[in-house]
Amino acid sequence: MTPSQAHAVQPPMGMLAELTHRCPLQCPYCSNPVALERRRHELDTVTWRRVFAEAAELGVLQVHLSGGEPALRPDLPELVAACVDAGLYSNLITAGVNIDRARLETLAEAGLDHVQLSFQGATPEVTDHVANMSGAHARKRAFAAEVTDVGLPLTLNAVIHRANLHQIDDFVDLAVELGARRLEIAHAQYYGWALVNRAALMPSREQVMAAVERVEAARERLQGRLVIDAVVPDYHARLPKPCMNGWGRQSLNVTPSGKVLPCHAAETIPHLTFWNVAEHALSDIWYDSPAFNAYRGTHWMPETCQDCERKEIDWGGCRCQALMLTGDAAQMDPVCEKSPYHDEVQTLAVRDASGTSEFTYRRFARATEGA
């Protein structure tokens, strides 16, 4: 990248810090890669502190402390404090099943700004089944009450799929009951473990449209009381979503072992090499790494995208999805109605919407199969 090109790239606003891939839950839609990274490869506390300092210097405003389950890191309070020291807003993304009141208070005292709590269902039966953990729902409810009791703002996140789509209204009621300020209704996106389970997760178009209507009705009813964000599944769309608001435009992911990615699924693109924070400064990775520059901007786009009035709105859509569904990461996102693959994607969605109901649960054992 030339100096003038580097100057044109804006600094990122957000960073997803995947502290670990370890997790007590086994959600079949997890966005972690199927080949999960082991604990022995995780960055240590000192390195994460340096990364947070470099992120703030680069221009990052907020850090999402994620996993797996970030609370499995014993040094989580130290990492929250490191965000505070760097002047970063910290959001803990957690399953909420392994943080007791004392540890939550320690995190709050360390300076944690926000908690995002996942619910796999709006009732115990659905949550415990999807998470493959008995008692998970009750523990999540208790944790949510403690979050609001210590004065931290709370967001509930519900990944939506065929097994819980009927609970949209119940998720909304749950968020209101638990005192959440925000609710994310995010339909499963088919990468990582969700791709493995696509035939068990994919809803029909009719189900998706009905869910959208219920979300809109709830937004109108609860305006001023609860913010509801919604993401629909790409396979039922006419136009692509901007991947992470554009590849290498606003955010970056750091994996447990320190690889820096433009999005959580980017490692599925085999010809890209991802620089590691153990070997490169975060600013060098953001501005100069070949992986971030590969699909940044519009220069890489095929002719149809180059001529499209939406090219700087959706930024070409999802590169990982293009690779999965067409075999070419530089192809048009196949959910776009202008793509020659669009009808094939719609047919695939219809097929999988009537597929199996059996989950392949997220487990570390799968990462070593065949090894």
Q: What is the pTM of this model?
A: 0.94
- pLDDT, position 172: 98
Instruction: Flag whether pLDDT at 3 surpasses 70.
Output: no
The predicted-structure confidence for 131-152, as pLDDT tens digits, reads as follows: 999 999 999 999 999 999 999 9
Strand order through the sheet with 114-118? 227-231, 182-187, 154-160, 114-118, 89-94, 62-66, 14-18, 251-254, 260-261
The predicted-structure confidence for 181-197, as pLDDT tens digits, reads as follows: 999 999 999 999 999 99
Is 305 marked within a binding site? no
Q: Tokens 């693959």, residue?
A: 341
Number of Cβ within a 10 Å radius of residue 301: 18
Determine the Cα–Cα distance for residues 49 and 57; give it in Å rounded to an integer.
13
Determine the Cα–Cα distance for residues 197 and 104; give it in Å rounded to an integer.
33
Is 308 marked within a binding site? no
| Average pLDDT score over residue span 316-330 | 94
Task: Give the residue from 294, 306, 305, 371 showing the smallest Cα distance to 338.
Answer: 305
DSSP 288-312: H-HHHHHSSSSTT--HHHHT-TTTT
Is 23 marked within a binding site? yes
Q: Tokens 């709006």, residue?
A: 122
- pLDDT, position 354: 84
Longest dimension (CA), the chain: 57
Q: Tokens 């100096």, residue?
A: 3
Q: Which domains does the chain have, with CATH numbers?
A: 14-231 (3.20.20.70)
| Average pLDDT score over residue span 259-269 | 95
